[in-house]
């Protein structure tokens, strides 16, 4: 289980290196990683290019079918409602989650789409897999982003004051 979450974390690191929110996802079937992805929403200008969506598409191509029965997903951050819906439609067996998302999570935090008995499939969920590492990469990413924005704001203010004094 840990080796798969490590692979998902490596995807999250790739996302961060590309300036994307660092979320990584892998899909495993019979002990083999059949799909791996990270967020690409900014790169592709596509609000649906979440790590989970990209991994599900890749896994479906690998399997040659839209149903991913027998597959497990490992994701560094709790999936949102869009991704949770895709997990149900793809019929993924189990979702292993690193960090929960108390603002937008749809696998137990804000809502629980993947275990809604009114839907046609219920996925098992296990949370807290390498939680500290998964949380840390997100916290570091957003702290760096806030720091950069703060520096940019200070620089802008300094330039503005210089222009006014001319």
User: Which amino acids are annotated catalytic?
Assistant: 52
The answer for residues whose C-beta is within 8 angstroms of residue 58's C-beta and 6 or more apart is 27, 34, 35, 36, 37
Q: How far, in Å, CA of 108 to CA of 78, rounded?
A: 8
Q: Where are the alpha helices (DSSP H) in 1-130?
A: 2-17, 41-44, 51-63, 81-90
28: its two tokens: 């495993």
């Amino acid at each position: 289980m840990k080796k798969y979450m490590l692979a998902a974390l490596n995807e999250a690191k790739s996302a961060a290196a590309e300036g994307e929110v660092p979320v990584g996802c892998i899909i495993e079937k019979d002990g083999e990683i059949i799909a791996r992805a990270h967020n690409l929403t900014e790169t592709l200008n596509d609000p649906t290019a979440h790590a989970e969506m990209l991994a599900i598409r890749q896994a479906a191509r690998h399997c040659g079918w839209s149903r991913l029965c027998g597959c497990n997903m490992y994701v560094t951050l709790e999936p949102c409602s869009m991704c949770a819906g895709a997990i149900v439609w793809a019929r993924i067996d189990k979702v292993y989650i690193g960090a929960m998302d108390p603002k937008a999570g749809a696998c137990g935090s804000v809502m629980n789409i993947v275990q809604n008995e009114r839907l046609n499939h219920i996925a098992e969920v296990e949370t807290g897999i390498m939680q500290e590492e998964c949380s840390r990469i997100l916290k570091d990413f957003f702290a760096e982003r806030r720091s950069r924005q703060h520096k940019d704001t200070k620089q802008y203010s300094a330039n503005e004051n210089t222009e006014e004094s001319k």
